[in-house]
Amino acid sequence: DKVLPELIEPYELRAAKLREFLEDVKPSLCYDIVPLADPFGPSVTDPDLQCLVVSEETHRGGEAVNRKRLENGLPELALYEIQLMKDPDHSQNEEEKISSSSLRQRLLGTLLQPPRRDPALPLRPYVIGLTGGTGSGKTSIARLLGHLGAFVIDADKLGHAVYVPGGPAYEPVLAAFGAEILNTDGTINRKVLGAKVFGNQEQLKRLTDIVWPEIAQMAKERVREADAQGKAVCVLDAAVLLE
């Protein structure tokens, strides 16, 4: 797997740049750029292929292609190996070759562009959105930023608070999904509610249309609280921040 895949350009853009490069190198060259949905692509099914260009690190992959071709009743490909340029300045945890993964690692934590001043937004607190899937390290980063003095807003906690009796989403959710979502103590049973919306886009949208605006409002109130405390930086930790 690639290191920091989220910093890799979209396929369409990479394919366009490759096409431009090939045209610059040799306009008369015939080529077909194919997106790979699996490790082999057309290399194990195309009977017209004769040669596969590999590097020293992908040579074993070329051999695997030939095994698959033989299984598919196709002739083996000639494997032409090219040498990779070495990076003399690579660090111990980086690849020895000149690598975009190493470049992306070096970019991690650096400011790619200065913060834009938006006249519609207050200068303080400076709000940082922190997002990513489960296990991506959001909680650890939020904790570190909190130790450095940032005011941390945990959207998960707001998400729980919004459902409690007396909370802003309690009555609307109850009205929309019925009393069967309640526990005996009158609290909303999140598992029962989750089962009602799981795999049902219409019901899920119904729920998020109620809940998300309330969570956003609570987050704004917490930002105002950070401002009142004189905090310079505020971090909003939310798994579905963009949505």
User: Cα 6 vs. chain centroid, distance in angstroms?
Assistant: 5
Specify the DSSP element, H or E, that contains 16: helix 11-25
Would you tell me how many other CB atoms lie within 10 Å of the CB of residue 235? 25
* 172 and 69, same domain (yes or no): no
pLDDT of the residue at 120: 87
Residues in Cβ contact with 183 at an 8 Å cutoff, skipping those fewer than 6 apart: 189
Cα–Cα distance measured from residue 238 to residue 111, given in angstroms and rounded to the nearest whole number: 21
**CATH number of the domain that residue 169 is part of:** 3.40.50.300
pLDDT of the residue at 4: 64
The most distant pair of C-alpha atoms in the chain lies apart, rounded to whole Å, by 75
End-to-end CA distance of the chain: 26
Among candidate residues 72, 107, 142, the one where a domain is terminated: 107
Would you tell me how many other CB atoms lie within 10 Å of the CB of residue 39? 11
Cα–Cα distance measured from residue 197 to residue 208, given in angstroms and rounded to the nearest whole number: 10
* 99 and 170, same domain (yes or no): no
**CATH number of the domain that residue 45 is part of:** 3.40.50.620
pLDDT of the residue at 3: 62
- Joined together, the tokens standing for residue 66 give 């030939």
Range of the domain at 187: 126-237
Domains held by the chain: number: 2
* 152 and 214, same domain (yes or no): yes
Going residue by residue through the chain (243 aa), what tens digit of pLDDT does each one get?
566 677 778 889 999 999 999 999 998 988 889 888 888 999 999 999 999 999 988 999 999 999 999 999 999 999 999 998 998 888 888 888 888 888 888 888 787 778 778 888 888 899 999 998 888 888 899 999 999 999 999 999 998 999 999 999 999 999 999 989 999 999 999 899 999 899 889 999 999 999 999 999 999 999 999 999 999 999 999 988 887
* 12 and 99, same domain (yes or no): yes
Instruction: Return the closest-CA partner of residue 190 out of 157, 163, 211, 156.
Output: 163
Q: Cβ(215)–Cβ(208) under 8 Å?
A: no
